[in-house]
Amino acid sequence: MIPPAFEYHRPTDLASAVGLLAQLGDEARVIAGGHSLIPMMKLRMAEPAHLVDLQSVGELKGITVAGDHVQIGAMVTQSDLITHDGLARAIPLLREAALQIADPQVRYVGTVGGNVANGDPGNDMPGLMQCLDAHFTLTGPSGSRDVAARDFYHGLYSTERADDEILSRITIAIPSGGYAYEKQKRKIGDYATAAAAVLLNRRGGTVSSASIAMTNLSDIPVWSQAAGEALIGTDCGAEAVTAAVAAMLADIDPQADNRGPIAFKRHVAGVILARAIARAWSRA
Amino acid sequence: MAKKIHVTLTVNGEAQEFLAEPRELLIHTLRERLGITGPHIGCETSHCGACTVDMNGRSVKACTLFVAQADGADITTIEGLGGPDGLHVLQRMFREHHGLQCGYCTPGMITRAHRLLQENPAPTEEEVRFGMAGNLCRCTGYQNIVKAILAAAAEMNAKEAAE
């Protein structure tokens, strides 16, 4: 499995990286951890003539927890997410999810930016970012713009990011309340058969707010507004969970593949969401 | 053909310098260019962990890294941990606890276990299993691999306490 030849570039600042993309055009792709791109190149399903490696771009590194927001550089790895104490205190949902991604070796290399920017519905971070209402900063030749994670995904590997833009940073308002990321997978390192991200707030005995997103159950991540709304004002009991699951099932569109037929995936999605709601409620 | 780049690596403490196509995979650099054949090629799809090496203090799968990405890196393979003249405690414990049968996964297992114990010197059994989840073994059923790693941790900690 020998990947196709390419020319290699390792810029040391974001302006140079963006400049290289502008100069090289369609022939160029950025590479972060490479754990999605390199397998695709080995299969010759991707044959970029130029790779722009982002590993030395300082502006894309680091996690900042300040006030009511968290900022995560695109080149932060899953392992960095897991080991950052301040982040684990601010948004424990991120750590819970990152621990369920791939395996230790892949988490040392795989980046958050790559995970959200690739547009692969199997990736866990996109649904998670929609649940958290994160914003992505896209940096291109004419400057930077912010896009909500909930508006970023258009279709399979198709996103709001233009070819000459780099997803440089993720900004998240620190959420309150209970959380859970629940994932069903066939084996370590596999993508989800179904996964659910849940954030809940409790006032007295009832749910005051809820955000629910599902992974790998459509060609894009699914933030199910209706599923969240089905919980609000309820006691989060069995009836409310059933209503939320029914609302979620109306929003997903899974396809049959080697993880199972459609009916199975819908079944698993319901089980996983019910578990995630229960765990988030127990922490709210 | 894309132009070659000048690569420098430190592998098991030794400086290496050569020209290579950027697309060369690190596992091929190690095995074919440098003759360091401890890291193995198993699945070639970043699942099995047979190719695991330590790069800048992190365990990585050398089948899924271009040598260009590794340019400037400090790499340790199983050969850098110990050999016939002086086995690393992990190597000794894998032998003592029958942590291998065919041996194909073993260099990756031990290289990964070494990093795991650097980060968590006294892991629980569950932490060992979670920390070793990126390495597959088709022979042992893992029981003896876990035992060997826990025994190595205990010996390393006892030695440290005695010093």
Query: What ipTM, to 2 d.p.?
Result: 0.95
User: Which tens digits make up the pLDDT trace of A69-78?
Assistant: 999 999 999 9
Higher pLDDT, A153 or B1: A153
Residues of A in contact with B137 (CB under 8 A): none
Cα(A255)–Cα(A243) distance, integer angstroms? 23
User: Which tens digits make up the pLDDT trace of A208-217?
Assistant: 999 999 999 9
What is the average per-residue pLDDT within A102-116? Answer: 98
Cβ partners under 8 Å of residue A197, min gap 6: A93, A97, A127, A128, A130, A131, A132, A180, A181, A211, A212, A213, A214, A215, A276
Q: Is A160 within 8 Å of chain B by CB?
A: no
Cβ B23–A105 below 8 Å, yes or no?
no
Q: Residue A148: is its pLDDT beyond 80? A: yes
Residues of A in contact with B112 (CB under 8 A): 104-105
Q: Is B31 within 8 Å of chain A by CB?
A: no
Cα(B18)–Cα(B12) distance, integer angstroms? 16
Q: Report CA dihedral (B126, B128, B129, B134) to the nearest 10 degrees.
A: 150
Beta pairing class for A178-184 and A135-140: unpaired
What's the CA angle centered on B94, arms B90 and B95, to 5 degrees? 120
Q: What's the confidence (pLDDT) of residue B84?
A: 87
Out of B5, B23, B46, name the one closest to residue A39 (CB).
Answer: B46
What is the average per-residue pLDDT within A160-176? Answer: 97
What is the average per-residue pLDDT within A31-36? Answer: 97
Q: What's the confidence (pLDDT) of residue A130?
A: 98
Q: What's the confidence (pLDDT) of residue A137?
A: 98
Cβ A105–B68 below 8 Å, yes or no?
no
Q: What's the confidence (pLDDT) of residue B3?
A: 87
Residue B133 structure tokens: 């989840």
Residue A109 structure tokens: 């290399």
User: Which tens digits make up the pLDDT trace of B83-121?
Assistant: 888 999 999 999 999 999 999 999 999 999 999 999 999
Cα(A232)–Cα(A228) distance, integer angstroms? 7
Residues of A in contact with B21 (CB under 8 A): 5
Cα(A108)–Cα(A33) distance, integer angstroms? 9
- As a whole-number percent, the residues of chain A with pLDDT over 90 amount to 99
Cβ partners under 8 Å of residue A267, min gap 6: none
Cα(B35)–Cα(B18) distance, integer angstroms? 14
Cα(B25)–Cα(B43) distance, integer angstroms? 14
Residues of B in contact with A5 (CB under 8 A): 1-2, 21-23
User: Measured between CA atoms, how close is B101 to chain A, in angstroms?
Assistant: 22
Q: Is B21 within 8 Å of chain A by CB?
A: yes
What is the average per-residue pLDDT within A60-72? Answer: 97
In the structure, what pLDDT confidence band is assigned to residue B163 with cuts at 50, 70 and 90?
confident
User: Which tens digits make up the pLDDT trace of A219-261?
Assistant: 999 999 999 999 999 999 999 999 999 999 999 999 999 999 9
Supply the DSSP string of A78-116, one letter for each residue.
HHHHHH-HHHHHH-HHHHHHHTTSS-HHHHHH-BHHHHH
Residues of A in contact with B132 (CB under 8 A): 104
Phi, psi (deg, nearest 5) at residue A199: -125, 135
pTM of the shown model: 0.96
In the structure, what pLDDT confidence band is assigned to residue B1 with cuts at 50, 70 and 90?
low
Best residue in A103, A107, A190 for a mutation probing chain B (most B CBs within 10 Å): A103
Q: How far is CA A143 from CA A138, A168, A196, B133, in A?
A: 8, 11, 34, 42
> Which residue in chain B is spatially nearest to A108 when comparing CA positions?
B58
Supply the DSSP string of chain A, one letter for each residue.
-PPPP-EEE--SSHHHHHHHHHHHGGGEEEESS-TTHHHHHHTTS---SEEEE-TT-GGG--EEEETTEEEEETT-BHHHHHH-HHHHHH-HHHHHHHTTSS-HHHHHH-BHHHHHHS--TT-SHHHHHHHTT-EEEEEETTEEEEEEHHHHEEETTEES--TT-EEEEEEEEPP-SEEEEEEE-SSTTPPPSEEEEEEEEEETTEEEEEEEEEESSSSS-EE-HHHHHHHTTS---HHHHHHHHHHHHHH-----BTTB-HHHHHHHHHHHHHHHHHHHHHH-
